[in-house]
Chains A and B, each alone.
Chain A
């Protein structure tokens, strides 16, 4: 625990906050999914929500997205309160949520289509992001012709192409095989560096959270609460392939496991 304390204060909390949630409560009937959840998400950084399944990660993310109304409390994005989905946020779905009847190009352009962008313009933008996520040449393919990893790249390209400032990702790599997932994690690191966007990333994998995050919020169930905020900083500047051997990385992974293990049945 003492080590975590040390990391926590290794760097001051940035004061440029893109998204913040204040005293969010959410109950489903008699189930209390979130209780008094207060969190801040610094701009241009990746914050993970990490916790065992059922602790309310998806619920929190959907409340931030405006897809679910909170029972009480408030979410603000750039200081403005959230009342519903908006162009400042884009969602990446765990199960991709692609239109099976539409080509990759139309799927990626779909967010822009719904925003009323003219066809030629949105297809230009979509084509650019398709290449960016490494799917060049698959523009006319259909989702059922792609592997799971490629489908999630389509979902990612769709979220990037609407150029939202905040990307909300709900376990985006959990339906993807292990090797592809590692590649995704590396790509995600460079994405965070290159795009000046705020990422909110839900995962239940400790290694994944420590590997990709600037800030990790550990959520605990029953009652749902934030147990700690960890800011792994020491290895952020290192190259993607040496992080996993970094002693600080390994220590944080161990410490998080030590604090979570009692909550796993």
Chain B
């Protein structure tokens, strides 16, 4: 019974993959390969190295875009959180961006920046940045007044206040904004590879679909989902580890 959670996780994976396998054997559709075929295709792509080549390509815009969004987004967010003028000026833009379907901008980006890496980095950035900025700004703005007053009463300078009080207090929320931003960045990276030009994993998906090699197509999709989920889970673990006991109980979406 101690292993009940693990057992149930395995069981639920077994049920899902089993259903996939059975549905593939019937088959429910000519375009629905079995689970085992897909795993075999994945294995083939790992052995011949094509998967790694593809990921080297896919991760380029993703990592660049996420890096830019992180640095720029956190800096902007802190600024917005500290200054009422900047809050008034910039917050509405990011609030609108957060709720808007920014994918609609892709045709425009392609016209302006071509079909190369720049456009793709842009797509990742516009997807990832709003939530990073808004979470950071919200966290900075809502630093508990009492610990700020404590810092002032012990003669802390403004620099002390920023680096010893505001940023540490805001970091859990900043981190969770980062996680959401990276999740959106993954969506943007795949979207740009499917929409703008097929490269990397997007290329495998598009190409294998065009030659009706469905096991490879499903394998590529499976791999990108696994990668994203593993990476985001790792981030969440890190977050829990870093900010243990720092649950202050307010969240933002």
A contacts B: CB pair < 8 Å: no
Partner-B contacts on A (CB < 8 A): none
Partner-A contacts on B (CB < 8 A): none
